[in-house]
Amino acid sequence: MSPFDAVIPDTMPAGTWGGVAWSAARDLKLALRSKAELGVLLLFYVIVVTLFPLGVGPEPALLRALGPGVLWVAALLTSLLSLPRIFAADFGDGTLEQIALSPFPLPALISGKIGAHWASTGLPLAVASPILGLQFGLRGDELSVLALALLLGTPTLSLLGAVGAALTLGVRAGGGLLALLVLPLYVPILIFGAGAVEAVCVGLSAAPQLSLLGAGLLAAAVGAPMAAAAAVRIALD
């Protein structure tokens, strides 16, 4: 019996979706055991967003103009801070090597890990964003578009970030290198996400920006798990 057999129940369905389900459930369970870490990430998001109104003053027009960009930059930084935990702990204790030797496709297992990362990091940010957006004087329709844009954009941040996290496994000063690799890829998501809310603010439709965010999510969902799996195999060799 392989080491991986000891952690996968016999009743787990084989195939791609079985691997995604097992990996997502495992990582979500581990994330929920580290509630303090998840709380710190959410608190970081809240603090960064709250500091801007205190720093720029109470001018309503200025706050409303800055709000979408501030909320998106804070979400981007929070996602960046959480990226190392996708693979680092499993790589450090040897679990990632056992996962790579499993009967499930490695891209499927990595897809599950990315999904769990988004559910424990990106989803709470999207849920909290409408409340924090009130500080900037955003209205109901603008808050709705903000939440929708984050729901489309934050999974893409997790997918692209997972590729960077896999490429920097075992590298010294990997955190700085990870930021250099990932931040340029995040720029289009930031532009379209903030642009969707700004379009609603000036009375235009947010459909073009939301469509581009959706297209980016689909493209990343297809390519990122395979790229991350290739990077993980290189790191394990």
CA 25, 20, 120, 10: dihedral to nearest 10 degrees? Answer: 10
Q: What is the pLDDT of residues 74-102, one digit of tens each?
A: 999 999 999 988 998 899 888 898 888 88
**Structure tokens that stand for 42 in this block:** 């959410």
* Cα distance between residue 22 and residue 103, in whole Å: 12
Establish if 137 belongs to a structural domain. yes
pLDDT beneath 50: ranges in the chain: 1-7, 9-11
Establish if 212 belongs to a structural domain. yes
The parent domain of residue 89 ranges over 15-236
193 within 8 A of 131, measured Cβ to Cβ: no
Establish if 4 belongs to a structural domain. no
pTM (whole model) above 0.85 = yes
Establish if 6 belongs to a structural domain. no
Per DSSP, helices labelled H in 118-173 are: 123-133, 140-167
* Cα distance between residue 104 and residue 113, in whole Å: 13
Establish if 102 belongs to a structural domain. yes
Q: What is the pLDDT of residues 120-131, one digit of tens each?
A: 999 999 999 999
* Cα distance between residue 195 and residue 201, in whole Å: 10
Establish if 2 belongs to a structural domain. no
213 within 8 A of 156, measured Cβ to Cβ: yes
Establish if 9 belongs to a structural domain. no
Work out how many domains the chain is built from and give that number: 1
